[in-house]
Structure 1
């Protein structure tokens, strides 16, 4: 289920960054900040409802979302570093930022799952 959420997040991330750069004329580095925030929100919603539905964060939805963003920040740093390195190393990728976004996302997914499972959603839900 986490992988499905990751694919959804990747589609949002890569699609947003590609659209902002190609159609909106945005700087590819700045566009990635917005695309990450949108993708992180989509993955949080998916994982909260599906992947970790049987687990409880112990937080309100708003606090959980902020906690999710903070935790995903670790993966985002890995993701962004790979993205930026690929853009710097390969000039043609600046017209296709979705490709380095996908590469960064693939590596960061491993970090993000470990963080989400081990920190935010570590406790089983209690019966009500």
Structure 2
């Protein structure tokens, strides 16, 4: 089927959004895919930490750093490819710093659910998922604005 005859819902959405907003939407969708990988890493490291004797809170702090490092690397390579300046270690540190707001939303949601909902304390993956969703939009906007900027600062 040629592009001239295709007029499906995605094509119509892209036409309404325009090229710049479509590019941002696609970037956000890639960010979400990377976030899903981060969720898996976060959960796996948390459960490994729990098996090794870490508590629900300290285990989550360790798992969050592991997940944030994973998502930074994948976002650098795929979501925001070609964007970002300076040394890699500086960019990683900047990613962690500017995403502290997302971390506060993420960890705060997790901690509140673990403390207040017995089912979440028994199955912390629920709290990890809720926390990841709570921090996602903020992390995307902050990462796009401050960490993965192009040469023009956009």
Q: How does the TM-score come out when normalised to structure 1?
A: 0.89
* Distance in 2 of aligned mates of 1:92 and 1:119: 37
Give the gaps of 5 or more residues in structure 2. 1-29
| Equivalent residues of 2:41, 2:63 under 8 A apart | yes
The ranges of structure 1 where at least 4 consecutive aligned residues each deviate by more than 4 angstroms after the TM superposition are none
Q: Give the whole-Å Cα distance in 2 for the aligned partners of 1:102 and 1:65.
A: 23
What does residue range 1-128 of structure 1 map to in structure 2 within 5 Å? 1-21=30-50, 23-55=51-83, 57-124=84-151
CA distance in 1, matches of 2:151, 2:34: 20
| 8 Å contact kept, 2:120–2:127 | yes
Q: CA deviation at 1:91?
A: 2.1
The higher-RCO structure (CA 8 Å, 6+ apart) is: 1
Deviation at 1:3, TM superposition (A): 1.2
Matched residue SS, 1:123? coil
- Residue 50 (structure 1) shift: 0.5
What is the Cα deviation at residue 124 of structure 1?
4.9
Indicate if the aligned counterparts of 2:85 and 2:151 stay in contact, CA closer than 8 A: no
Structure 1, unaligned stretches of length 5 or more?
none
CA distances 1:24-81 after superposition (whole Å, capped 9, x unpaired): 23210111110011000000000001011132x2210011111111112210111010
* Helix, strand or coil at the partner of 1:41: helix
